[in-house]
Structure 1
Amino acid sequence: MTLPEAGELQAAAAGGEEIIAPLPRVTLQAFCETPAVAAAMQAVVADRRMDKAHARIQMGGPVAAVEAFRASPTPNIIVLETVSAPATLIANLEALSESCDSGTKVVVIGHVNDVQLYRDLIRRGVSEYLIAPLETLDVLRTLSELYVSPEARHLGRIIAVTGAKGGVGASTIAHNTAWAIARNLDASTVIVDLDIAFGTAGLNFNQDPPQGIAEAIFAPERLDSALLDRLLSRCSDNLALLAAPAMLDRTIDLSETALEQLLDLLRASVPCIVLDVPHQWSAWVKRTLLGADELVIVAEPELASLRNAKNFIDLARAARPNDAGARLVLNQVGMPKRPEIPTAEFAKTLGTEVLSAIPFDAQLFGTAANNGQMIAEVQAGSKASEAFTQIASALTGRGEARRGKRRLLEPLVSKLKRRKAS
């Protein structure tokens, strides 16, 4: 599968929500003058997109920045809050420029909406001028765009899918959702099987590629877009697979940052990436789940799933305050003779909505698994197939946008009908 060009990536991403790229490994130093802006910058630094950056926040504003860098090298980014008059700010910036390294980017936070000041700052080499009070995502977007080229602004969306416990069908949900995104929403998609020793994506898509994710993870020094292109196995026109070897010849002891390079490459080249994350708990799993743009927890309507799903959702709320909460999918609902927690009660206990409740259908899911097919290929009109389309639409934001357009059109359509009748 050939990775899409920048134009294809932009077109495919246009229907979904904006993705703010994580910052690279940069240093940032902020000099604030008010407690409100200092608190806002603390929230920015705590966001998951700043994991690679090394940041420091202190008070003092532009004057403190000038003093700090008289005899010290400047960081990659300097953020300055100013409450002084424009002339004083310009004088401080001129003094700072005498000791500023050529690659340093400066972002100024002000308290007045002044177009002339903005033009003066940009003319003097300031990267951006923000007006307080600050929204966390606005600051993150500004910092991210300092390091993202204009042709790569529309980045791929990473969707991580994992099970609240083993055996709940998280892999099946991940694979069918990826297929629905590629087939029904016409977005180039890659499914990444992260269960390196026992992954089933190859079986479910009836693929047996000679290479896959092991080559990408265990030899990071060789990994680039050309190698990644060779490792991907085509499943359909819009869907590719990075399969797991499913072999036990080596143990899988990955470092916390083992997937960073792979995910950065995928994010820059594919509109949608679906991660099939195994049910285990290690540093790299935690980092992968919390670093995704969308986090999906798959559970069954029983007590162990309820407890574990609550732990996941609470962790996501605490660690990802600027993101949508973890999504909950209930699988195998309505299994005969099994006592179950009702869907409404399950959702109420967790304090979240159930994105989809997929009915138990042993015949349908068993047939699909044994044939190496997706649910929609076996029975396109089934409730499960419709559920995967719904999940795909919600995770990409496309279905919601289309429904919003229909709601806007409804009043116009009724008016036209009334005119025609009269």
Structure 2
Amino acid sequence: MTDLNETSERIIAPVPRITIQAFCETQESATLVESVGLDRRMNKAHIKVQMGGGAAAVEAYRHAPTPNVIVIETQGMKSRPLEYLDSLAEVCDEGTKVVVIGHVNDVALYRQFIQRGVSEYLMAPVRPIDLIQAISDLFTAPGAKPVGRTVAVVGAKGGVGVSTLAHNLAWTIAREQDTATVIADLDIAFGTASLNFNQDPPQGIAEAVFAPDRLDSILLDRLLSKCSDRLSLLAAPATLDRTTDLGEPAFDHLLDLLRAAVPCVVLDVPHQWTAWSRRLMISADEIIIVASPELAALRNTKNLLTLLKQNRPNDRKPRVILNGVGVPKRPEIALAEFAKSLDTTIGAAIPFDAALFGTAANNGQMIGEVQAGSKAAEIFSSLAASITGRAELKRARPNLFEPLLSRLARRKAS
């Protein structure tokens, strides 16, 4: 069975604004569907769970319109699934999709389900992530371009180098992983992305956020500033002519457009706790928490991890990166002690190097441009490869020089 870390690496498109009604025969499946409704990818969907299986579904829709998706649990032929599916077909509205959760691994039964128009058949016990994937796939057009991954870079406290890490990470993904990437500077009033990339775009993220009704893929393309062939910047205006008291869904439409446009979106999230920043962080595909090796950052990181664990039960843990490690004469919490207190592993520890980072910031360059072989540049390269999945592919690649018989013998033994 695939573990949670592997399943959470899937890029699953958020489910659109639909209605889903489930008719379960066991309490376990009812609990499963209810838990799926709490997942970040199901925010727009409305889910209702009832007991009674296929019989209850048929009865419910005799005189009522059917929802976008019907989930029916069947415990085998004793539940008379084919009979109820035939009856349901007579009352179903056009376009309604049916997902069956079954307890019998029977190819012949599966074929009969498909012949009757069942969209998906899942074998119990079903993991939440598998049901989410199945529902999401129902609304993804065949041959459509895969949805992009969003990476939210957040700070455990102010001044820990979130923007520096986010900008270098985006640059490295675009350059070394040959992946089209957008870096979005979400600090509308004080953002530094335009300075760090030596850009002066006339427009940026403010136009996208303050006029959401006008925002479409054409306008978004005009708002993006080209940093390189593979890297684009959605810059912040860094002006104080208006406040940024934004509503909770302020960035939803923008992120939907960005995910549809490029494979990777790196979000430079400012250190402020608002409804929109919380929503944006919880809904991201990948989260990187940047911290410094001190007590306040440790406490805040622990609070963030607790919050994210509660709100992202079907996702991998956030990556924790320690930045500015080894400041002269500054007492610091040891790496092992920091990790032990959080009950997690530290993804990387970036050493303090005032000359290198100061030079890069003043020149509007990235670390890899100033000193490609530095420890920090190597960390950014490793992090970029891991986020895009290239590190795992590299580890999994077979040794081409290993004798064929040895490989076959090892495969047989396993």
Secondary structure of the residue that 1:335 maps to in structure 2? coil
Matched, 1:148 2:140: yes
Aligned match of 1:6 = none
Equivalent of 2:172 in 173, 180, 185: 180
> Which residue pairs with 1:320 in the alignment?
312
Q: Distance in 2 between matches of 1:139 and 1:20?
A: 11
Deviations 1:187-227 (A, max 9, x none): 11000001111110010000111111111111111111111
Instruction: Say which of 333, 341, 348 aligns to 1:349.
Output: 341
Give the corresponding residue for 2:295: 303
Q: Alpha carbons of 1:411 and 1:335: their partners in 2 closer, same or farther (altered >3 Å)?
A: farther
C-alpha spacing 1:396/1:116, structure 2 compared with 1 (3 Å): same
Distance, in Å, in 2 between the alignment partners of 1:248 and 1:300 is 29
> In structure 2, how many angstroms separate the alpha carbons of the residues matched to 1:167 and 1:268?
32
The residue identity in structure 1 corresponding to 2:394 is R
Q: What letter is aligned with 1:210?
A: P
The residue number in structure 1 matching 2:356 is 364
The aligned counterpart of 2:249 is 257
Greater shift, 145-154 or 193-202, is seen at: 145-154
CA distance in 1: counterparts of 2:389 and 2:378, whole angstroms = 16
Equivalent-residue separation in structure 1 for 2:181 and 2:404 (angstroms): 35
Offset at residue 155 of structure 1 (A):
1.6
The alpha-carbon distance between structure 1 residues 340 and 77, as it changes in their structure 2 partners (threshold 3 A), is same
**How far apart in 2 are the matches of 1:21 and 1:248?**
35
Shift of 1:20: 0.9
Deviations along 1:151-194, whole A, 9 cap, x unmatched?
Answer: 23622111000110011000000000001101111111000001
- Deviation, 1:115, is 2.0
Which deviates more, 148-157 or 282-291? Answer: 148-157
1:97 matched to 2:89? The reply is yes
* Partner residue, 2:281: 289
SS at match of 1:98: helix
* 1:31 maps onto 2:35 in alignment: no
Letter in 1 for 2:239: M
The aligned residue for residue 221 of structure 1 is 213
Separation in structure 2 between the aligned mates of residue 17 and residue 150 of structure 1, nearest angstrom: 21
Deviates more, 1:334-343 or 1:88-97: 88-97
Residues 1:414 and 1:129: Cα distance change in structure 2 (over 3 Å): closer
In structure 2, how many angstroms separate the alpha carbons of the residues matched to 1:156 and 1:222?
A: 22
Partner Cα separation in structure 2 for residue 318 and residue 388 of structure 1: 29
Unpaired runs of at least 5, structure 2: 1-7, 408-414
Question: 1:13 aligns to what?
Answer: none
Match of 1:12 in 2: none
Matched AA of 1:400:
E
Distance 1:117 1:184, change over 3 A: same
Matched residue type, 2:359: T
Unpaired segments ≥5 residues, structure 1: 1-15, 417-422
Under a length normalisation based on structure 1, what TM-score does the superposition of the two structures give?
0.91
| Partners of 1:17 and 1:396 within 8 A in 2 | no
Shift of 1:150: 2.4
Q: Does 1:232 align with 2:213?
A: no
State which of 387, 395, 403 in structure 1 corresponds to 2:379.
387
Of 293-302 and 107-116, more deviation after overlay is shown by 107-116
Letter in structure 2 aligned against 1:77? V
Of 364, 368, 377 in structure 2, the residue corresponding to residue 376 of structure 1 is 368
Q: Which residue in the other structure is 2:326 paired with?
A: 334
Encode CA deviations 1:86-112: one digit per residue, 9 max, x unaligned. 892222122222221112111111111
**How many residue pairs are counted as aligned between the two chains?**
400
Over 3 Å counting, the alpha-carbon distance change for 1:405 and 1:48 in structure 2 is same
Closer, same or farther: CA 90–242 of 1 in aligned 2, 3 Å: same
Aligned-partner residue type, residue 337 of structure 2: E
Partners of 2:392 and 2:121 in 1: CA distance: 33
Change (3 A) 1:225 1:312: same
Residue 235 of structure 2 is aligned to residue 243 of structure 1: yes
Q: Distance in 2 between matches of 1:24 and 1:131?
A: 24
2:171 is paired with a residue whose SS is helix
Question: What does residue 72 of structure 1 align with?
Answer: 64
Corresponding letter in the other structure for 1:364:
L
Matched, 1:119 2:120: no
The Cα shift of 1:43 comes to: 2.3
Q: Is 1:53 matched with 2:45?
A: yes
Amino acid at match of 1:224: D
SS in 1 for 2:143: helix
Q: Is contact 1:18-1:154 (8 Å) kept? A: no
**Rounded Cα–Cα distance in structure 2 between residues aligned with 1:334 and 1:36:** 50
Q: 1:182 to 1:106 in 2, by over 3 A?
A: same
Q: Whole-Å Cα distance in 1 between the matches of residues 135 and 163 of structure 2?
A: 35
The alignment yields a C-alpha RMSD, in angstroms, of 1.9
Measured in 2, the distance between the counterparts of 1:86 and 1:272 equals 48
Q: CA deviation at 1:18?
A: 2.6
